[in-house]
Structure 1
Amino acid sequence: MQASALEFRLRFIIGIVIYLLGFIAPWNILLHLDSIRTWQYLAAWPARSGWLSFSAATIMVLVLGILCAVAGAFLRTWGSAYLAHSIAQAGAMHGEGVVAAGPYRYLRNPLYLGTFFHTFALALLMQPSGAIFCIVAIVLFQLRLIFAEESFLTAKLGAPYLDYCAKVPRLFPSLTARIPASPMRPSWPTAFLSEIYMWGVAISFAALGWRYNSVLIIKGVLISLGLSLIVRAFLPKR
């Protein structure tokens, strides 16, 4: 179930491929499936059942998308603020020590949880079959990465990391801090810049979603991705 070193090194490229397949959903043509967006499908379901009007259901789904996008951006930025950019974006695993600050006092994997929320938001813009594929593939891939990191850190750090794992949940945050805070200070500017893609997606949902045009949001997502690639080129590598 653990990801290989090659998978970890290529995790960003693999993630992009999964998202791309989710948006394209090439099997839809072969299986003659509906081409509506998941957003429309979810809005139509309560409307057909008579629970909400279609317009109210559409707004509800939009708000859900905004909340997921913002939650994903916030969690990843909060987690990245307590990690060096070179570690968060590294092609190899690092085990210099246990990070006992910020979100890492409440859960062990804020970056991965943020990615889950981000995926749920993007899935609303995909066709239903693509959304299901993307969510399942991303969740399985992220879990493989988590298990690989945990195995590596256990071998690298030993008892201190095992003690940390025993106290702090893996993915479901504790309502209270489970370990004392370390004196580590966050680096918010670098964290925000490293996660500018996530914030771009959140802004795209919040600013363009009220046009009820998923194509506009997708364009915002692509612009955010391009901007993030430019910004990452100038972020410190060490």
Structure 2
Amino acid sequence: MKATALEFRLRFLLGVIIYVLGFIAPWNIFLHLDSIRTWQYLAAWPARTGWLGFSTATIAVLILGILCALTGAFLRTWASAYLDPSIVKAGTMHGDNVMADGPYRHLRNPLYLGTFFHTFALALLMPPSGAIFCILAIAFIQLRLIHAEESFLAVKLGEPYLAYCARVPRLLPSLSARVPASATKPTWFKAFLSEIYMWGVFVSFAALGWRYNSVLIIKGVLISLGISLIIRAFLPKR
């Protein structure tokens, strides 16, 4: 179940490939499936059953997308502020000490949970078959990466990390902090820059979603990705 070192190094590329496949859903051609967006499908379902009008359901799904995008961006930025963005983007695993501050007092893998929420937001812009594929594929990759990192840290850090794992949940956050705060100082601005793509996706949903045009939001996502790649090239490497 653990990811290999190669998978870890290429995790961002693998994610991009999965998202692209989710958006284009090439199998729809062979399965003769419609290219309707998941956003439209979810909005039409309660309208057909009479629970909500189509306009109200469309707004409800949009708000869901905005909240998922915001939660993903916040979690990843909060985690990056304490872990250091250079480690977050590193191609190899790091483990100098047990990180037990910021979001890591509530759950062990806030970065991965943030990516899950981000994936749910993007899935609304995909065809339903692409959304299902993307969510399942990202979950599979993320869980493999989590098991690989936790196994690595358990070996490298030993008992302190195992004690931390025994108190702090893996993915479902605890409302109250499970461990005392350490003296780690967050680097908020650097973390925001490193996660500018996530914030760009949130802004795309929040600002462009009210045009009810999925293609327009997708363009905002692509622009956010381009900006993040430029900024990432100038961020200091550890």
TM-score interval, smaller chain: over 0.9
Say yes or no: does 1:130 pair with 2:120: no
Deviation at 1:83? 1.2
Structure 2: which 5+ runs fail to align?
none
Counterpart in the other structure of 2:101: 101
**RMSD of equivalent CA atoms:** 0.4
In structure 2, what is the Cα distance between the partners aligned to 1:212 and 1:85?
34
What SS does structure 2 have at the residue aligned with 1:82? helix
Unaligned runs of 5+ in 1: none
CA distance in 2, matches of 1:85, 1:224: 18
Whether contact under 8 Å (1:85, 1:236) holds in the other structure is no
Q: What is the aligned length?
A: 238
Distance 2:48 2:73 in 1: 33
% identical equivalent positions? 79
Partner of 1:169: 169
1:44 and 2:44 are equivalent in the alignment: yes
TM-score norm. by structure 1 comes to: 1.00
TM-superposition CA deviations, 1:96-124 (whole Å, max 9, x none)? 01011100000000000000000000000
Whichever residue aligns with residue 106 of structure 1, its letter is H
**CA displacement, residues 45-103 of structure 1 (integer Å, 9 cap, x when unaligned):** 00000000000000000000000000000000000000122211100000101011100
Letter paired with 1:20: V
Aligned equivalent of 1:84: 84
C-alpha displacement at 1:34, in angstroms? Answer: 1.1
**Distance of 1:131 and 1:76 partners within structure 2:** 22
Q: Does 1:222 align with 2:222?
A: yes
TM-score relative to the length of structure 2: 1.00
Q: Which amino acid aligns with 1:38?
A: T
Partners of 1:9 and 1:140 in 2: CA distance: 16
Equivalent position SS for 2:45 = helix
Once superposed, which parts of structure 1, at least 4 consecutive aligned residues long, lie more than 6 Å away?
A: none
Question: What are the within-5 Å matches in structure 2 for residues 116-195 of structure 1?
Answer: 116-195=116-195
